[in-house]
Amino acid sequence: MMNTLTGQQRKSSLLWDYLTTVDHKKIAILYMIAGGFFFVVGGLEAMLIRIQLLRPGNDFMGAQQFNEIMTMHGTTMIFLAAMPLLFGLMNAVVPLQIGARDVSFPFLNALGFWLFFFGGIFLNLSWFLGGAPDAGWTSYASLALNSKGHGIDFFVLGLQISGLGTLIAGINFLATIINMRAPGLTYMRLPLFTWTTFVASALILFAFPPLTVGLALMMLDRLFGTNFFNPELGGNTIIWEHLFWIFGHPEVYILILPAFGIFSEIIPVFARKRLFGYSSMVFAIVLIGFLGFMVWVHHMFTTGLGPIANAIFAVATMAIAVPTGIKIFNWLLTIWGGNVKFTTPMLYAVAFIPSFVLGGVTGVMLAAAAADYQFHDTYFVVAHFHYVIIGGVVFGILAGVHFWWPKMFGKVLHETMGKISFVLFFIGFHLTFFIQHFLGLMGMPRRVYTYLPGQGLDTGNLISSIGAFFMAGAAALLVVNIIYTSIKGKYVGNDPWLDGRTLEWAVSSPPPEYNFKQLPFVRGLDPLWIEKQAGNEGMAPAEPVEDIHMPNGSIMPFIISFGLFVAAFGFLYHSDYSWGLPVIFIGLGITFFTMLLRSVVDDYGYHIHKEDLPNDDKGVKA
């Protein structure tokens, strides 16, 4: 099945092109679209929560509805919005930063996306099929096993499918960064976004299996009558908490590390200065990844594991503040004395530092086990993790989207709209969550759908809800900006920010499908900056111009994922309806037959002939 691409590009419809693509740049766009959609859904759920808590005794929604919306807000934002948006940026940028033509396994890259997508759609179909999950995003076993209806089953099966996609993507990035680096690009010359992607992918490799095991046991308990988590029949609900948090704490580092990487790319470009303390930054990233697995019990201080366990995990939790602090000081010292340009990405990067530090400070407070008995399950905790996840991860995603948008689409997002959006989001974020620390200290519990008047909680909740509307406005303006830019925006060159330091700014915007006409030769850290300082036009090539081998697109990843999607309905309804069992076999049959087909049918890809490559005589400037 080898074919060649002549000057006549193969024509196909846009939809078919995206359904079958294995190109990392198109998969990045798919991740951004899907993640953006779920981000809006999760945001609307958050708005509903804040409307309900606007005033005491509000009857905007009932307790059951509130539990479902609160559960789906957390699950959607973590699994279906933050992770795919970061994967979108990783797919768009990492292969370019390491000078590769694609990821190691393009087919698996597509499979990872479609598994995530079908898992997310399956989870959200619960709204229309008898009720969403209602046991919180952590889905503690004592609540989950007693939940009526099929909501929790949607949660378990949807996350199982989605998590498989995430695991595949993580393995793919590990293999890519280890094997596909350009000549001269040693580990200690890697851009920091690539480093953080590498460590986050290693965390995915080790953190997702415990979640997979926990979800499998939960599925067996709920759908097949086992009793792993049922204490009345010899099970243990605390085991779920351990399995969940052994995944759940590394998960927050899987989210925050790529955000750290984004800021480590943005700050040097707009401070026009090399990143301060590169090697200590790399060391801190690896150390955070390592320590991230040693702290999960700080989510369980009030479970009753005893003072020794609590003390050990309290100390380990506080230790993570050290590498994080190193990074904060390195960013500050990079900005210090720099020729700073306050573009939209730089504003997010600068605002991130104090916002994230506040989240870190409350984290150290919560790490003190004795104090945690007071803070636990109050709005103080809600404020803490939103400062980390919005002040860290979401700021990082927004900064990265503004920063790399011209590289992905060839047009810079409108700066004035971006800045207004930033101001709205920044004000709204602090209005919403700063006050929640105090609500928590005043005793307002988490996950309650209403509260009584006259307890001193009215004003705080009103302020918090007003802030949420500011954030919604910022998100709406970002959407307007994207639509405006795609219609009216002007096309830009390779290096729209003028001070790009890494390899992605050496290729055209957007890059050609093969990324690099010739693989670049890397002479040091910030390779493009080195060539600029030497007065060179672009990167020096590491190879002569040759035919470029490319992988063929394939519809198989879509079909494999669709098969699991079908089988999930069978698992869900097998005890309710007679058609459940056949549907399981039909779905798994689709998946396994397609996998067999993939194994048996040879697909050698195609070549782009060197005669058909654009002739620009500028080395790797494609």
Strand order in the sheet with 606-608: 3-5, 606-608, 548-550
Domain annotation covers residue 590: no
Query: Are the CB atoms for 174 and 109 separated by under 8 Å?
Result: no
Give strand pairing partners of 17: none
Give me the mean pLDDT over the 98-126 stretch.
98
Q: Which residues contact 519 (CB under 8 A, 6 or more apart)?
A: 99, 101, 182, 183, 541, 542, 543, 620
**In total, how many domains does the chain have?**
1
Tell me the C-alpha distance between 236 and 299, whole Å. Answer: 17
Q: Which tokens is 261 given?
A: 């990487």
Chain center to CA of 212: 18
DSSP state letter for 553: P
pLDDT at 606 > cutoff 50: yes
Phi, psi values for residue 606, rounded to 5°: -145, 170
Q: How far is CA 97 from CA 101, 330, 436, in A?
A: 10, 22, 40
Q: Which tokens is 407 given?
A: 């590289």
Domain annotation covers residue 174: yes
Residue from 531, 527, 496, 519 nearest 408 by CA: 496
Query: Are the CB atoms for 275 and 330 separated by under 8 Å?
Result: yes
pLDDT at 10 > cutoff 70: no
DSSP state letter for 337: T
Query: Are the CB atoms for 242 and 235 separated by under 8 Å?
Result: no
pLDDT at 22 > cutoff 90: yes
* Strand 548-550 to 3-5 pairing: unpaired
Give strand pairing partners of 475: none
Q: Which tokens is 266 given?
A: 């943005």
Lowest-confidence region among 38-52, 398-412, 607-621 = 607-621
Q: To which residue do tokens 């740049």 refer? A: 25
Q: What pLDDT score does 411 carry?
A: 97
pLDDT, tens digit, for every residue of 476-518?
999 999 999 999 999 999 999 999 999 999 999 999 999 999 9
Q: Which residues contact 478 (CB under 8 A, 6 or more apart)?
A: 398, 418, 421
pLDDT at 8 > cutoff 90: no
pLDDT at 615 > cutoff 90: no
Residue 371's CB: how many other CB atoms inside 10 A? 15
pLDDT, tens digit, for every residue of 196-228?
999 999 999 999 999 999 999 999 999 999 999
Instruction: Give the CATH number of the domain where residue 514 resides.
Output: 1.20.210.10
pLDDT at 591 > cutoff 70: yes
Mean pLDDT across the chain: 96
Domain annotation covers residue 301: yes
* Strand 606-608 to 3-5 pairing: parallel
Say what the pTM is: 0.96
Q: What pLDDT score does 246 carry?
A: 98
Tell me the C-alpha distance between 512 and 207, whole Å. Answer: 35
pLDDT at 560 > cutoff 50: yes
Tell me the C-alpha distance between 156 and 507, whole Å. Answer: 43
Share of the chain above pLDDT 90, in %: 96
Q: What pLDDT score does 32 carry?
A: 98
Q: What pLDDT score does 7 carry?
A: 37
Domain annotation covers residue 493: yes
pLDDT at 3 > cutoff 70: no
Dihedral of alpha carbons 437, 443, 444, 448, sign: positive
Tell me the C-alpha distance between 13 and 2, whole Å. Answer: 22
DSSP state letter for 544: -
Q: Which residues contact 208 (CB under 8 A, 6 or more apart)?
A: 163, 166, 167, 170, 247
- DSSP per-residue codes, 177-235: HHH-PPTT--GGGS-HHHHHHHHHHHHHHHHHHHHHHHHHHHHHHHHH---TT-GGGT-
- DSSP per-residue codes, 455-523: SS-HHHHHHHHHHHHHHHHHHHHHHHHHHHHHHHPPB--S-TTS---SGGGGS-SSPPTTS-SSPBPP-
Tell me the C-alpha distance between 25 and 131, whole Å. Answer: 36
Domain annotation covers residue 617: no
Tell me the C-alpha distance between 546 and 613, whole Å. Answer: 9
Tell me the C-alpha distance between 588 and 31, whole Å. Answer: 25
Tell me the C-alpha distance between 296 and 20, whole Å. Answer: 39
- Single-letter amino acid, residue 446: R
Domain that holds residue 525: 3-554+603-612
Domain annotation covers residue 574: no
Q: How far is CA 241 from CA 69, 156, 164, 374, in A?
A: 22, 15, 21, 20
Q: What pLDDT score does 621 carry?
A: 47
Domain annotation covers residue 54: yes
Q: What are the start-end ranges of the H helices in 24-150?
A: 24-52, 63-75, 83-97, 106-125, 141-144
Q: Where does residue 595 rank: exposed (0-12), middle (13-18), buried (19+ CB within 10 A)?
A: middle
Q: What pLDDT score does 354 carry?
A: 98
Domain annotation covers residue 26: yes
Tell me the C-alpha distance between 221 and 229, whole Å. Answer: 7
